[in-house]
Amino acid sequence: MRAIAAFFHKDAIALALDNVRAHKLRSGLTVLGVVIGVLVVVVIASILTGLRKNVVTMVEEYGTNNIFAFHLSTGPRVGPRDRSEYRRRPLKPDDGFAIREGAAHVVDVANSAFLWLPSESQLSFQGTKYRQAQLQGVSSNYLEITNFSLSQGRFFSEDDDQARRNVVVIGVAVAEALFPYKTQVEGVEITIAGQPFRILGVLDKRKGGFMGENDEDNMVLMPYRTARKIAPRTSEWMMLVIRAQPGEVKTALEEVEEVLRRSRGLRHNQPNDFDLSTADRMIQQFDSITAAIGLVAIAISGVGLMVGGIGVMNIMLVSVTERTQEIGVRKALGARRGDIVRQFLIEAISLTFAGGLIGVLLAFATSRLLMFLLPSLPAEIPAWAVISGLSVSIGVGLVFGVWPAKRAAALDPVEALRWE
């Protein structure tokens, strides 16, 4: 610590800052690359941090003890799904029964199937169509397993499912779009695929969301057998939501995998023709994607920092040439090589640190502007990104300032004093 304090002596810092202020425009243009590099890293880090926070909240809302089984791969991913997956057999309600009976650490299993209907026949009320609705056919225990709650009304029962009644529970976004002037919509009839459906209840607004909004607020849930009645292909897109015993997710996951492999007739040397996901796995998948994006951001900022570093080195070499007589005077008055090296290194570090500080301030302003223009886009600047940006900017000044500093220290005082 004493060595660092001695290096950053207040007189040396004051002299360095005086020289930086004496050439404001030149100094600003010199560190432009550092500014851009730090700005890119901090802004992207803020966006990714905000997105991750929303994803974690969204996944945890479903329940950390839940396992999701689907015949296609699930969770965040980059690029299209492997087309070979489309040849897989969809899951069936019988698979859920087998899991409930064969997995000792499973509490319950719910069915959830997507309805594929032409957009013009999906959902309407008195001529007003709502095309953003996420239609799903689910079992009567779906609400409890997925941790949904109701703001009004009730959920449909097993009797409603068995009788294939035309009843639905809608998301809060659907209620607000179709009934902007109604506070109670329980009992109101809407039209789905040309058939009347009675609203039993409205779901509470979900807290989490990838971009600040949650598609689950657009959900329209109906009994699974009712969904099969109006859209027979519903069974081709069924997901099983499996509730494991608290603290036994890993064991339950192994049991579910074994049961599904057995029920689907897979041999020991065949890979799974289904996908199992948990809250932890979904977050890990998202982290792997953000890590790749982070590497791209680091590469982009690295170019900016490299350009900024070269600019700093170039301007410091010019400064050494311009101040040759000053260096000669200082040496003649007793300044040591270390004093000269320290002076020019501190100037280089001051330049790049100022660039890093400007980059961080611009990143804060950019993040606030993004949230103002796109309220659904989260942007939360983490402390580590700010510290890393400033630390890297100091490192750039230290690395690229060494050569000019050594060149200045190596000047012969007699020759320096004779310099014209």
Element (H, E) at 221: strand 219-223
Residue 202 three-state SS = strand
Per-residue pLDDT tens for 244-295?
A: 888 888 898 899 999 899 888 888 888 888 888 887 777 777 777 777 777 7
Per-residue pLDDT tens for 114-152?
A: 887 766 567 888 878 888 888 899 999 998 888 888 888
241 beta partners = 68, 110
- Please report which residue ranges of 63-147 form alpha helices under DSSP H: 93-102, 142-145
Scored b (16 or more CB within 10 A) or e, 205-215 reads: ebebbeeeebe
Instruction: Count CB atoms within 10 A of the CB of residue 103.
Output: 24
Scored b (16 or more CB within 10 A) or e, 2-13 reads: eeeeeeeeeebb
Residue pair 168/222 in contact (Cβ under 8 Å)? The answer is yes
Q: Is the pLDDT of residue 3 over 50?
A: no
In sequence order, what are the residues at sequence separation of 6 or more whose Cβ sits closer than 8 angstroms to the Cβ of residue 275?
69, 70, 71, 72, 73, 74
278 beta partners = 67
Q: Write down the pTM of the prediction.
A: 0.65
Per-residue pLDDT tens for 332-373?
A: 666 677 677 777 777 778 778 888 888 889 888 888 887 777
CA distances from 196 to 23, 131, 144, 155 (A): 76, 17, 26, 18
- Among 114, 7, 5, smallest CA distance to 346 is for 7
Domain boundaries, the chain: 2-57+285-417, 89-273
